[in-house]
Every structure is written in C-alpha cells, then in structure tokens.
Amino acid sequence: MRILITGGAGFIGSALTRQLISHTDHEVLVFDKLTYAGLLSSLEVVASSSRYNFVQADICDAEAVAEVLAGFRPEVVAHLAAESHVDRSIDGPADFVQTNLVGTFVMLNQTLGYWRTLSDADRAAFRFHHISTDEVFGSLGDDGFFTETSPYDPRSPYSASKAGSDHLARAWLHTYGLPVLVTNCSNNYGPYHFPEKLIPLIIVRALNGEQLPVYGDGSNVRDWLFVDDHARALQAVFERGEPGQTYNVGGNAERKNIEVVKTVCSILDRLQPRADGKPYANQIVFVTDRPGHDHRYAIDASKIRADLGWSPSVTFEEGVARTVAWYLENRTWWQDILDARYATQRLGVAHG
C-alpha cells in the first residue's frame, strides 16, 4: 500500500515510518513541516529505502496537500501531524488551534477531493486514519476506564484542539462518506522521544546532574504505552479496522508520575551509576503543579484486542529499560537537540 503519514518526523510518526519500511512492503510518504518537534534524524535509518519519500510542507497549506495527494496517490492517510505538548498549549494555544483544528480540516477536505477522483473499488478500500489521544475524555477519578463511548470532556487547549479535530474527522465520515477511522491512545514513550516529555526529560536531566522536576506531589496517573506497540496498533487499524469505528489504544500500564520517575532513576542506577554512587532519585524535586492538571487517564483497550487481535507486547518495566538503554547508546541524537536549543524554555518542566 501507499501510505501518506502526516507528522512522520515526530515521535510516533517516525516509529510508524520505521516500522512500515523495516517490516512491511508498504511505500511511505512522510509529509511534515519539521517544526521544533520534527526531526529527520529520527528517520535516518530508513532514509535510504526506495519505499521512503519525504515532503516538507504544512498541513494547513491546502495547495501543498492537494499536490502531494495527486502525486503520491495514497491508499491510506495516517494523520498524526499535530502540536502535541500540553505545557506549550498553555503558553501559546494559537499554534494548537491552527495545526490541530485548521490543519485537520485542510487534510480532510483535500483528502475528500482526492478520494472522489478514485474508482469505486479504490474509494471503498481507501482509509483516512485520524490519530488522537485519550486526553479528549478529560480526567478520571481513582476508578474506571475510558472506552470508545466515553463522553468528551477536554480540559487543556491541547486536548480541546484534539477533541475538535476528532469531531471534524467523524463529520467528514458521516457527512461526506470519507472512510475515516479514529484511534485514541494513552501516553507513549520509547526511543526518539523529544526530551521535553516526562520520561526522556528525566533521563537526560539525570545524566546531566540536574534536578528532576515532578509536578505537584507526583500522584497524577497515566497509562503508558511503548511507542512501537502503538505503531503496530496503528498498522492493524488502517489495514484491518472498519471505517467509522473508533479504537482506544492503551498499554495496560497505569503508573503515578512519581513511580515513573523512580523507575527511570533505578534503571539508571543499574546501567549508568552516578559517579558518587548515590541514587539518581536524590535529584527529584517537586514543582508547582500544571494548571488544570488531569488526575488520571486509563484506557480500556478491549475492543482493539477483540476486533483486531492487537495487544501491547512490552511491559512498562521492560519498555522503560529499553528506552533508558537507547538514550544511553544514542547520546548524539538528543545532545544535538539540546545543543540546538530548540525552544528550551519548556525543557526544564516535566510533562505528565
């Protein structure tokens, strides 16, 4: 299949691209603006493949989107491009409204125009896969799980913009018949994660001898999913999922933020002990909580398991160990980011 991946130079999009090029025969075109979060260094390992293509452009640019659709003639559009960092959405929501809402509208509208030019058989086989987050469902108490029918209750500019984009995607299905699928996923982690997000931030700061900031008392709970497991779920959905369906994707690994930080610290203690022999956990500090910080997210992923046979393959402890090992072995990847001072104002603040 020919698969157009928007945001394919980001954390999850690059994992999906690496997987499709390395483990399938699919041809991929990455369509990415290369914002601060888009990194060609995350795609280096597949860049020489004849099945890999790259276009640098903005999803809000209707002409550029139309040109790529007409030239590449995808059978699947996997739409991941987004502004994705909650803290940044609090500081500057405008980019989130522009890319996540206007950009998704442009992608849907241009894809609809392209889809209408296809033969009946190609129209039936085509998929527009909109990739979203569990944050659209708001905050849970100590019990319960988000399901595909949970009501939307977004609370940050990021989650509100993603919620709106989910509604747009479903509107293009119901109103115009575009074969849309939606997935809502929990917190991803793994190699090539931009070091402003919690797990890589902690690894990098620990190694640099800096304080490890944890919001509030660290009791906020997230469900954690290894990024390569998410990439496998996305592939299962656009290959075998039913248009019109939504699938929740989760790692079945709920952890408090403080537990996550302590797990990273203890793995580092084992793999790269501090020169003074003391535990990395000594560097933990608690900082003022994020405004509107959702208490708990947890996903019921039984539908994708039952319908598509997908389940996470990596436990949280194993995934974090692999992630820490990757950051130790690939210092140049993240050191280049720190050296380039990519909008560093947020690199000192933890993200749950």
Interface with ligand NAD (CB under 6 A): 6-7, 9-13, 32-35, 37-38, 58-60, 80-84, 99, 103, 131-133, 162, 185, 187-188, 194
Sheet harboring 2-6: ordered strands across?
52-56, 27-32, 2-6, 76-79, 127-133, 180-185, 246-249
Closest CB to ligand NAD among residues 34, 171: 34
Q: Minimum Å distance from CB 279 to ligand NAD?
A: 27
Closest CB to ligand NAD among residues 225, 283: 225
Distance CA 46, CA 263 (A): 31
Q: Minimum Å distance from CB 130 to ligand NAD?
A: 8
Distance between the two ends of the chain, CA-based, in angstroms? 36
Q: Minimum Å distance from CB 201 to ligand NAD?
A: 13
* Cβ atoms of residues 32 and 10 within 8 Å: yes
Tell me the sheet residues that pair with 2. 27
Q: Minimum Å distance from CB 235 to ligand NAD?
A: 14
Closest CB to ligand NAD among residues 136, 321: 136
Number of C-beta neighbours around residue 18 at 10 A = 23
Long-range contacts, 56-63 (Cβ 8 Å, 24+) = 56/32, 57/31, 57/32, 57/33, 58/33, 58/103, 59/6, 59/31, 59/33, 59/99, 59/103, 59/104, 59/106, 59/107, 60/98, 60/99, 60/102, 60/103, 60/106, 61/106, 62/106, 62/109, 62/110
Sheet harboring 221-226: ordered strands across?
187-189, 221-226, 254-256
Per the document, the length of the chain is 352
Distance CA 282, CA 266 (A): 11
Distance CA 265, CA 337 (A): 22
Instruction: Check 83, 135, 166, 223 and give the catalytic one.
Output: 135
Amino acid at 233: A
Instruction: Check 32, 58, 83, 158 and give the catalytic one.
Output: 158
Closest CB to ligand NAD among residues 81, 160: 81
Burial (CB count within 10 angstroms: exposed 0-12, middle 13-18, buried 19+), residue 100: buried
Closest CB to ligand NAD among residues 9, 260: 9
Instruction: Check 134, 166, 229, 294 and give the catalytic one.
Output: 134
Known catalytic residue at 135: yes
Known catalytic residue at 52: no
Q: Minimum Å distance from CB 302 to ligand NAD?
A: 18
Number of C-beta neighbours around residue 9 at 10 A = 27
Q: Minimum Å distance from CB 83 to ligand NAD?
A: 6
Closest CB to ligand NAD among residues 156, 187: 187
Known catalytic residue at 67: no
Closest CB to ligand NAD among residues 214, 227: 227
Q: Minimum Å distance from CB 35 to ligand NAD?
A: 4
Number of C-beta neighbours around residue 67 at 10 A = 14
Q: Cβ-closest residue to ligand NAD?
A: 10
Would you please indicate which residues are annotated as catalytic (active-site) residues? 134-135, 158
